[in-house]
Amino acid sequence: MKNSRLSLSGTNIVYLTFIGCALTIYLMLDSANITESSRAYLRLSGRVGMGLFFVSFGASTLHRLFNAGWSHYLIKNRRYYGISTAIVLWSHFLVILSLSVTASEWFRESAPWFILYPGSGVFILVGLMALSSNDYAVKKLGPKTWKTLHLVGGYTALAAFTYEYVLVLYLQPILLPNYEFAVKNSPLGTYALFAVPLLLFYLRFRKS
Ligand code: HEM
């Protein structure tokens, strides 16, 4: 009994994510170098959020493909991994917004409206998905509306992760000519990260 309470499942996943995020922000953000420390947190939260998103939005596909103990675990806990994804992505969003105060010049140059507005839309959708990840919301919205919200939100977030690396790899010289993405120091690492959302697209659209 005691063991199941300590296991990495159910609401424990959400609590752990929340505490992990708060602790990481506390340890990483450095007022002496707020821009670079915030950027480092944005890189970390973006990548961790993508990993959590992969296992939550990809759970049913992975289970269909592998039908193993670990994929069954993901199916059972995908709701909690989904909420954890939203917590991490909202911490990403809040740190971005905090930069508008703590590093306003950087923010003006590096977060133009054509990135900030669509990005904010994605965070709002992800937030709505998390808020409706409970039985009460499924009943209130009706299964059809609930499913539509989660499909539209899921694919929008998947497109946003894909876009992040399209921006890093191809669009940065046109859209953000003065910006340097740190991840570009490791081309192999960039392509490996880019492969994550592409793989999820592939798996979701794969027939069998
Ligand atoms: C509101 C608009 C957004 C802004 C201004 C923004 C800004 C940033 C910044 C400054 C970084 C650090 C990049 C660096 O300096 O090296 C970053 C990283 C990242 N962001 Fe965002 N972001 C936004 C929205 C999003 C959204 C909607 C997603 C996906 C749902 C996302 C996913 C990521 C990922 C995956 C990384 C890590 C990139 C890497 O591997 O280095 N971001 N973001």
- Indicate whether 2 pLDDT > 60: no
Q: How far is the CA of 8 from the centre of ligand 1 (A)?
A: 27
143-150 average pLDDT score: 98
The response to whether residue 161 sits with its C-beta less than 6 Å from ligand 1 reads yes
> pLDDT of 160-178, one tens digit each?
999 999 999 999 999 999 9
Going by alpha carbons, the residue nearest to atom 26 of ligand 1 is: 119
The CA 13 to ligand 1 mean position distance, Å, reads 23
What is the distance between the alpha carbons of residues 47 and 58, in angstroms, rounded to a whole number? 16
Q: What is the pLDDT of residue 105?
A: 97
What's the chain's average pLDDT?
A: 96
Over range 42-59, report the average pLDDT.
98
Q: Looking at the predicted structure, is the pLDDT value of residue 92 above 50?
A: yes
Is the per-residue pLDDT at 114 higher than 80?
Answer: yes
Asked if the model's pLDDT at residue 129 lies above 80, the reply is: yes
pLDDT at 6 over 90: no
Categorize the per-residue pLDDT at 5 as very low, low, confident or very high, splitting at 50, 70 and 90. low
**pLDDT at residue 60, rounded to an integer:** 96
**Is the distance from the beta carbon of residue 172 to the nearest atom of ligand 1 less than 6 Å?**
no
> Is 183 touching ligand 1 by the criterion CB < 6 Å?
yes
- Is the pLDDT at 1 greater than 60? The verdict is no
Mean pLDDT calculated for residue range 92-115:
98
- Rounded to an integer, the average pLDDT of 11-30 is 98
Is the distance from the beta carbon of residue 88 to the nearest atom of ligand 1 less than 6 Å? no
